[in-house]
Structure 1
């Protein structure tokens, strides 16, 4: 099933002011509300609110780091959301990055592949309500048991960029969440993960016909994100090494990310940032479905003078 999701909360909109919009999302054609967790809201609180504002939406996290909560706390928090929205919650977890884990949360970002694998295995058992006593390779749990195991254990999706994590997602999760992809990248990812698991991705959407404005916002994001080692290696794997080489050289020379961003070709921005009229944006989002992405998650980017709620309405699949 192809779905149509939105990442909330919207930029510049207070959390509690989303209630009216969330109630209308199913009528607009949206199927999903998802959250991210970086330095804004946590991933779970907005979903608990959304679960009470609408009973017609699937809710998901994209993503929760496996390092910033202990295994037991992660299981308890996920079970709480699952209890608030039985059968409608999807837990997306991932390794995150050294910046978020180490620099912002003072936790060692060690053995990310192993920690992610072990967390997946722990959650599978914990959600059944069984007691967990296990020495996993990257952590140990002694006697943890959920007092309120979810009546419907949530599917667990894994944040995955390159083949190793994608294979882990196919083998031990219920699907994968990837990031910073163009429609043309999806078949390469599908070739690793297979055709059956759900594939989800945030898609950055700048709903403006001013291409210069959209590319300016895109340069800022790409210059920030794609210099992170994991994302750089992912884009290399996808075949953008040459296109992004000048940006990387600029950053390696110590230049500010803004100056490095000037070296990003417009063609790369146009691949990775959806922009244009609402009709053009909807058509581009639909092309992700056609390429094999089950669930694009609109990640709305700010537009000068724009109203993000009106943008959500204009981008709705029901408008097509």
Structure 2
């Protein structure tokens, strides 16, 4: 089956309550645990805990490049590489104007360049170099890690469109993407090339209540696909016309109208739902189409989330 990841912590559950489940994951066939960072848990602390509970690979998907200074990001990376004994993958990206600017009071400027500059700084710093450099979006003078990792830490970039995908292929160890359908994967893979790792966060709602799954999907899609980067991503993928009524309603302040305007076929492409067996098979389709590391992002259904993680495992 190759790699098979899960997003943790699960929504609405304490980090500390995950220990028993995390200890089971390898036996179930999971290979990876990836964190996220929006308005809940930070990206690093849950992985530091998980590193003591499992030998799986651990990754951030993603840590924003604006909300920590370059040196702080390097130190957190080196620390997680140490406590995980080299099993850590750093995923970084520009994040969004809401997270960076509205919530963290940091100007969201030149996201492509800021991501590129942070990547270049981190590669030097994590290799143990003393960094003094004037980058396009920031400068660093005289920084050197006291505990540089003993081995290379892979760095992957959040990438939605050709420029970032090509940067990931040229200078990083891979790309992390999300909010795409299984049939979109070949187009993304073509831009990234065949050598770099492609990871994808895949939203999975294991319920046979189609109306409930689509209602949740519409709410999430209208919230995300109105962010400019995601709107441009789906324009590139060919969903521009299908998404336009939703985006127009959202821009007019009609949130309910925006939700209603998301077509069923778009929901069904971007949110996996149905029986557990069907969901597992659909995640595997992403792999078959070119994703190296599918990362399940479990959506709430009212059922026990830990049981659903067990049921979605490749070995179930």
Q: Which residue of 1 aligns with 2:267?
A: 269
Report the secondary structure of 1:53's partner residue: coil
Q: Which residue of 2 aligns with 1:185?
A: 184
Distance, in Å, in 1 between the alignment partners of 2:220 and 2:290 is 25
Q: Which residue of 2 aligns with 1:94?
A: 93
Quote how far apart the aligned CAs of 1:11 are. 1.4
Report the secondary structure of 2:59's partner residue: strand
Report the secondary structure of 1:158's partner residue: strand
Q: Which residue of 2 aligns with 1:297?
A: 295
Quote how far apart the aligned CAs of 1:216 are. 0.7
Equivalences, count: 316
Matched, 1:171 2:209: no
Q: Which residue of 2 aligns with 1:9?
A: 9
Deviates more, 1:169-178 or 1:241-250: 241-250
Distance, in Å, in 1 between the alignment partners of 2:12 and 2:121 is 37
Quote how far apart the aligned CAs of 1:273 are. 0.2
- Normalised by the length of structure 2, the TM-score is 0.99
Is the 1:159–1:176 contact (alpha carbons within 8 Å) kept by the matching residues of 2? yes
* Runs of 4 or more consecutive aligned structure 1 residues displaced over 2 Å after TM superposition: none
Quote how far apart the aligned CAs of 1:286 are. 0.4
Distance, in Å, in 1 between the alignment partners of 2:149 and 2:38 is 26
Is the 1:6–1:298 contact (alpha carbons within 8 Å) kept by the matching residues of 2? yes
Unmatched tracts of structure 1, length 5 or more: none
Matched, 1:314 2:306: no
Q: Which residue of 2 aligns with 1:63?
A: 62
Quote how far apart the aligned CAs of 1:86 are. 2.1
Distance, in Å, in 2 between the alignment partners of 1:192 and 1:224 is 26
Distance, in Å, in 1 between the alignment partners of 2:245 and 2:107 is 31
Is the 1:58–1:89 contact (alpha carbons within 8 Å) kept by the matching residues of 2? yes
Distance, in Å, in 2 between the alignment partners of 1:278 and 1:207 is 5
Q: Which residue of 2 aligns with 1:38?
A: 38
Distance, in Å, in 1 between the alignment partners of 2:164 and 2:107 is 20
Deviations 1:264-313 (A, max 9, x none): 11111000001111100010000000000011111010113x11001101
State how 1:156-167 maps to structure 2 within 5 Å. 156-167=155-166
State how 1:1-320 maps to structure 2 within 5 Å. 2-55=2-55, 57-256=56-255, 258-304=256-302, 306-319=303-316
Distance, in Å, in 2 between the alignment partners of 1:270 and 1:71 is 39
Quote how far apart the aligned CAs of 1:167 are. 0.8
State the Cα RMSD in Å: 0.9
Is the 1:86–1:151 contact (alpha carbons within 8 Å) kept by the matching residues of 2? no
Is the 1:79–1:148 contact (alpha carbons within 8 Å) kept by the matching residues of 2? yes
Report the secondary structure of 1:34's partner residue: strand
- Normalised by the length of structure 1, the TM-score is 0.97
Report the secondary structure of 2:198's partner residue: strand
Unmatched tracts of structure 2, length 5 or more: none
Is the 1:86–1:152 contact (alpha carbons within 8 Å) kept by the matching residues of 2? no
